């Protein structure tokens, strides 16, 4: 490829940069998106950084962050409402990824505990749910969300497509998290359960104070890998017509000015995902090493 054309095509990507980042989010309200990004960075920092003073408050902030961000982005309660169909591009990708990640973890833990429960009915329900979700492709679940879910709702009611997709993605990731956490629970020696019982702790207290902290620690690498998978899977929303970064890029390719620029476009988007996922993967690798040496001591 000759140089001038090469330069030109990257110029187009630069020209569409705003669209790629914000989708069609109204120009005057974009500070809300920027603020959300900033809060996200703070939340991630608070979760990942060890030995932060007041770590507890950082974690609480991370728990509340998705709700704050939802309010900021969608509006209402004093802010100008913005329809979810205006959301697109990297913003959409990150919304799908972050929502899935935050909500699938607690749901996954519950499913894992249910699958290991002594109560046959509870166990059966969890097994069927987990294995069903893991047995079908995410795209079929998204089709269900986009075409079939309205039949399940009370007549006349409807709710937002983005919301439906977020629920599906969360459920999908939760099934995988459940299996990772179950592996962590199985990795604990039965002595830990017995010790907890011997102390007279109730089921929930034993799990909250003794079992889960250890099991989750073992499962962190697996959980991060599931998150990476989820983040990559977020591009699938394009197939049901939502415009994430990949969807917008492809729409751009129909623009005569962009004709033949597919390789550059895909490379650009691939690099975007690579940077996000590779850094998550490195982080998980570092944790794994730290855990391994931690166990030796």
What is the contact surface with another protein in residues (CB under 8 A)? 118-122, 125, 132, 134-140, 143-144, 147-148, 150-155, 228, 232-236, 238-239, 246, 250, 253, 260, 262-263, 266-267, 269-270, 273-274, 277-278, 281
* Contact status, residue 234 vs residue 169, Cβ threshold 8 Å: yes
Query: For the residues of 27-79, what is the DSSP string, one character each?
Result: GGGHHHHHHHHHHHHHHHHHHH-TT-TTHHHHHHHHHHHHHHHHHHHH-BTTB
User: Please, what's the largest Cα pairwise distance for the chain?
Assistant: 74
Q: Which residues contact 126 (CB under 8 A, 6 or more apart)?
A: 111, 114, 115, 117, 178
Q: How far is the CB of 65 from another protein (least distance, A)?
A: 25
Compare residues 54 and 260 and give the one whose CB is closer to another protein.
260
State both tokens at 80.
């100008």
Q: Tell the smallest beta-carbon distance from residue 98 to another protein (Å).
A: 16
First vs last C-alpha separation in the chain: 56
Burial call 268-292: b when 16+ CB within 10 Å, e when fewer: bbeebbeebbeeeeeebeebeeeee
CA–CA distance, 70 with 95 (Å, rounded to integer): 9
| Residue whose CB is less far from another protein, 40 or 125 | 125
Tell the smallest beta-carbon distance from residue 212 to another protein (Å): 19
Which residue, 53 or 156, is less far from another protein as judged by CB? 156
Residue number, 51 or 293, with CB nearest to another protein: 293
What would you report as the CA-atom Rg of the chain, rounded to the nearest whole angstrom?
22
Q: How far is the CB of 150 from another protein (least distance, A)?
A: 7
Nearest to 268 by CA among 2, 3, 21: 21
Measured from the CB atom, the residue of 26 and 131 that comes closer to another protein is 131
87 vs 149 by CB, closer to another protein: 149
- The least distance separating another protein from the CB of residue 118, rounded to whole angstroms, comes to 7
Q: In the complex, what is the shortest distance from the CB of residue 43 to another protein, in angstroms, rounded to a whole number? A: 22
Angle CA(187)–CA(193)–CA(194) in degrees, nearest 5?
130
What's the min distance (Å) between Cβ of 123 and another protein? 10
In angstroms, rounded to a whole number, what is the distance separating the alpha carbons of residues 73 and 16?
Answer: 21
Sign of CA dihedral 125, 130, 135, 139: positive
**Least Cβ distance, residue 132 to another protein (angstroms):** 7
Tokens of 295: 């166990």
Closest residue by Cα to residue 105 from 276, 189, 219:
219
């Amino acid at each position: 490829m000759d140089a001038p054309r090469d330069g030109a095509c990257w110029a187009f990507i630069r020209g569409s940069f705003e669209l790629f980042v914000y989708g069609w989010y109204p120009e005057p309200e974009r500070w809300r998106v920027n603020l959300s990004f900033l809060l996200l960075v703070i939340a991630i920092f608070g979760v990942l950084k060890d030995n932060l003073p007041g770590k507890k408050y950082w974690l609480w902030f991370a728990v509340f962050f998705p709700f704050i961000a939802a309010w900021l982005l969608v509006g209402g309660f004093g802010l100008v409402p913005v329809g979810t169909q205006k959301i697109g591009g990297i913003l959409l990708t990150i919304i799908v990824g972050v929502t899935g990640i935050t909500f699938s973890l607690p749901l996954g833990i519950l499913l894992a505990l249910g699958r290991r429960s002594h109560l046959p009915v509870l166990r059966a329900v969890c097994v069927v749910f987990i294995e069903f979700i893991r047995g079908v492709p995410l795209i079929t679940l998204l089709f269900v969300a986009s075409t079939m879910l309205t039949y399940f709702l009370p007549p006349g009611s409807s709710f937002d497509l983005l919301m439906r997709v977020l629920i599906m993605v969360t459920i999908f990731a939760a099934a995988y998290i459940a299996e990772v956490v179950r592996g962590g629970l199985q990795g604990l020696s039965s002595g830990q359960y017995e010790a907890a019982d011997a102390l007279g702790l109730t089921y929930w207290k034993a799990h909250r104070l003794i079992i889960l902290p250890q099991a989750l620690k073992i499962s962190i690498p697996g959980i991060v890998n599931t998150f990476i998978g989820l983040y990559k899977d977020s591009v699938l929303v394009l197939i049901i017509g939502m415009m994430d970064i990949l969807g917008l890029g492809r729409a751009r390719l129909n623009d005569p000015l962009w004709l033949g620029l597919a390789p550059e476009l895909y490379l650009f988007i691939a690099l975007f995902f690579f940077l996000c996922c590779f850094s998550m993967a490195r982080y998980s690798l570092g944790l794994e090493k730290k855990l391994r040496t931690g166990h030796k001591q």
